[in-house]
């Protein structure tokens, strides 16, 4: 299947055969789409339009549909690759339904979440998707979301359920994620296992810590009090992961479970700075399965968030709200998946 623009793409003249091949449809079907004819499934129509985009053709004027409305996407940052991954899926699903996404990114010294929401409302957005925002911070004032709902702005939340905010929330099962990681490490012979996560005030961090304590009790026999010294809370960054992992290694841990892939890369760095090898001396497990993580050195064992399913579900719930068909305003929990790669191995025998 070709993915490079045909030679006449510069002249702006789409070649039907190329477009049909790229979209994996018949030339007759491609022709119907390009001529704005009815009788083509929506998914097939989107494939043909995507083929035009990939091949570098400009869409014919008759195919340039008017936006169904603007939808805001508020995310914490772009430096952690899991957030752009979520944003890409959210934007793709929105575009597939005719909505124009507006990406709003917070950054140190930049606009706050409240300021971004105000700007989105000024632009008359149809709805907002919040990803790992203030809703995930138990110390934040969640009255802002109640006020937003009171103003009639539909919105959904991703990762960070709060029972006091009456909207749909999509989350990964953080407790199950850590349980999978600990079980994997115990099966490899590890007993002194540490957890590097973010501050307690964040809902995902709190849930991961709960899952960690439960897993150590079940698989290693430690009480919750005995498990606590094996938890280090820091920032969700490479530097934060390195600091937490360093403390856990000093505590005698042979394996570290991390709250994000970025933290896991920091844990690998901390081990190497101590002259240790990963996974020979220390096993490391991440969380997210961000893009390119499979190509780190070593390839990172991690717990994958089902980004495609979660983002699609969040957008689906939001569009139902926008269309006046409210879905159940509760938390929808998605199961993660352990992806075993090269950063975990059998514990090295003592002596």
Average pLDDT over residues 168-178: 97
Q: Which pLDDT score is estimated for 109?
A: 79
Q: Are residues 20 and 97 in the same domain?
A: no
**Is 340 domain-assigned?**
no
Q: Are residues 178 and 299 in the same domain?
A: yes
Read off the pLDDT of residues 304-340 as tens digits, 9 standing for 90 and up: 999 999 999 999 999 999 998 888 889 999 999 999 9
Domain end call among 63, 92, 108: 63
Tell if the pTM clears 0.75, that is, is over it.
Answer: yes
Q: Is 9's pLDDT higher than 50?
A: no
Q: Are residues 264 and 329 in the same domain?
A: no
pLDDT band at 1 (very low <50, low <70, confident <90, very high): very low
Domain end call among 33, 63, 93: 63
Q: Are residues 122 and 268 in the same domain?
A: no
Q: Are residues 256 and 289 in the same domain?
A: yes
Average pLDDT over residues 173-188: 98
Average pLDDT over residues 55-61: 75
Q: Which pLDDT score is estimated for 67?
A: 66
**Is 346 domain-assigned?**
no
Read off the pLDDT of residues 94-151 as tens digits, 9 standing for 90 and up: 988 889 999 999 877 788 999 999 999 999 999 999 999 999 999 999 999 999 999 9
Domain CATH code at residue 143: 3.40.50.2300
Structural domain of 110: 69-172+307-334
Q: How far is residue 349's CA from residue 351's CA, in Å, rounded to a whole number?
A: 6
**Is 345 domain-assigned?**
no
Domain CATH code at residue 42: 1.10.260.40
- The pLDDT mean for the chain works out to 90
Q: Are residues 197 and 162 in the same domain?
A: no
Q: Are residues 221 and 299 in the same domain?
A: yes
**Is 299 domain-assigned?**
yes
Q: Is 191's pLDDT higher than 50?
A: yes
Count of structural domains within the chain? 3
| Burial class of residue 41 (count of CB atoms within 10 Å of its CB; 0-12, 13-18, 19+) | exposed
Q: Are residues 178 and 300 in the same domain?
A: yes
Q: Are residues 297 and 314 in the same domain?
A: no
pLDDT band at 20 (very low <50, low <70, confident <90, very high): confident
**Is 277 domain-assigned?**
yes
Q: Which pLDDT score is estimated for 37?
A: 78
Average pLDDT over residues 290-302: 94
Q: Are residues 217 and 159 in the same domain?
A: no
**Is 48 domain-assigned?**
yes
Q: Are residues 11 and 116 in the same domain?
A: no
């Amino acid at each position: 299947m070709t993915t490079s623009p045909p030679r006449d793409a510069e002249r702006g003249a789409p070649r039907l055969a190329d477009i049909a091949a790229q979209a994996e449809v018949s030339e007759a079907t491609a022709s119907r789409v390009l001529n704005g004819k009815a009788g083509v499934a929506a998914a097939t129509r989107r494939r043909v339009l995507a083929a035009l985009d990939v091949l570098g053709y400009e869409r014919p004027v008759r195919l340039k549909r008017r936006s169904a409305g603007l939808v805001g996407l508020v995310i914490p940052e772009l430096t952690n690759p899991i957030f752009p991954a979520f944003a890409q899926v959210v934007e793709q699903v929105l575009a597939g339904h005719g909505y124009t996404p507006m990406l709003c990114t917070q950054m140190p010294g930049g606009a706050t979440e409240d300021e971004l929401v105000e700007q989105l409302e000024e632009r008359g957005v149809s709805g907002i998707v919040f990803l790992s925002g203030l809703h995930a911070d138990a110390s934040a004032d969640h009255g802002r979301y109640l006020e937003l709902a009171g103003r009639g702005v539909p919105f959904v939340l991703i990762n960070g359920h709060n029972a006091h905010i009456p909207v749909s929330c999509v989350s990964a099962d953080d407790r199950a994620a850590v349980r999978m990681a600990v079980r994997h490490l115990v099966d490899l012979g590890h007993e002194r296992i540490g957890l590097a996560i973010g501050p307690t005030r964040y809902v995902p961090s709190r849930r991961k810590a709960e899952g960690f304590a439960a897993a150590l009790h079940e698989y290693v026999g430690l009480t919750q009090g005995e498990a606590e010294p094996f938890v280090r809370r820091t920032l969700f960054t490479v530097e934060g992961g390195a600091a937490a992992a360093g403390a856990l290694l000093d505590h005698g841990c042979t394996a570290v479970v991390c709250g994000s892939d970025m933290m896991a890369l920091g844990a690998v760095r901390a081990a190497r700075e101590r002259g240790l090898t990963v996974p020979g001396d220390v096993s490391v497990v991440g969380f997210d399965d961000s893009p390119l993580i499979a190509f780190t050195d070593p390839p990172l064992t991690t717990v994958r968030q089902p980004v495609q399913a979660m983002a699609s579900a969040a957008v689906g719930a939001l569009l139902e709200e926008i269309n006046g068909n409210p879905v159940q305003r509760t938390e929808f929990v998605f199961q993660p998946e352990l992806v075993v790669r090269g950063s975990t191995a059998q514990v090295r025998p003592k002596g």
